Amino acid sequence: MINPDKIRALQQRFGIGSAAGSVAVVETSDIVVLAVKPQQIRALAQEIAPAVQRRRPLVVSIAAGIREADLERWLGDPVPIVRTMPNTPALVQTGATGLHANPHVDETQRDWAESLMRAVGITIWVDREELLDAVTAVSGSGPAYFFLLMEAMEKAGTELGLGRADARLLVEQTALGAAKLAMEADAGPEELRHRVTSPGGTTEKAIEVFSRGEFTELVRKALKAAYERAQSLSQQLGEQE
């Protein structure tokens, strides 16, 4: 349900326009962003399809798991569609987004889509739509992997005697610093790891434990499981009628 009070509050806060419904938005837009839950997108797409066919806007989808072929089936073909896979750090303008354009998207529209998603972080284009499932496994679900490691490090820190607040602050700043260093360094993560791992030192002992637990193989299996689940969900969502 549309909440008029929230609409007015958003208008006043951001100086934006509003419309009474989705069709009215499409009728006056060059770019239409589909930002609803995947389970709701079929009904929305079919609702706006006549307006999309008349207006021919660029359609940018951030609905996880909804394939371009299904969007084209619901919206009508040909429609320029860019499918994207952002992640939650977009909330703090440090997101990572994968994009794929269907054949109806021209260079100007590609620039529009990229500029839109760059407002909340970095972007990469993939030349095959199925690679968005790999993007999902790496960066779409990726923040949770880092949160899991941070959670485990914080817990271990408290077991070693640190206060919870101090352990959390140390873990958060270390994660931020490591990411910043990786982004700005002239080397990849393997080389950076070697640089901070002194022979016979504390870091080497910790890395040895990770290696004995087959950490790298565990990460590979986890991302493969996420990738396969992304493929499965895309098929299920597309088959819903």
Location of each CATH 3.40.50.720 domain in the chain: 11-130
Contact between 162 and 170 (Cβ < 8 Å)? yes
Distance, CA of 141 to CA of 158 (rounded, Å): 27
DSSP 3-state of 73: helix
Q: Taking the mean position of all CA atoms in its chain, how far away is CA 93?
A: 12
Name the CATH topology of 11-130.
Rossmann fold (3.40.50)
The conformation of residue 29, written as its DSSP 8-state character, comes to -
pLDDT digits (tens, 9 = 90+) for 53-86: 999 999 999 998 899 999 999 999 899 999 999 9
- CATH code of the region 142-230: 1.10.3730.10
Residue in the structure block whose two tokens are 């870091």 = 203
Residue 136 structure tokens? 């999902």
Percent residues over pLDDT 90 in the chain? 84
pLDDT in tens, 191-225: 999 999 999 999 999 999 999 999 999 999 999 99
Nearest Cα residue to 226 out of 216, 234, 237: 234
Look up the pTM and report it: 0.89
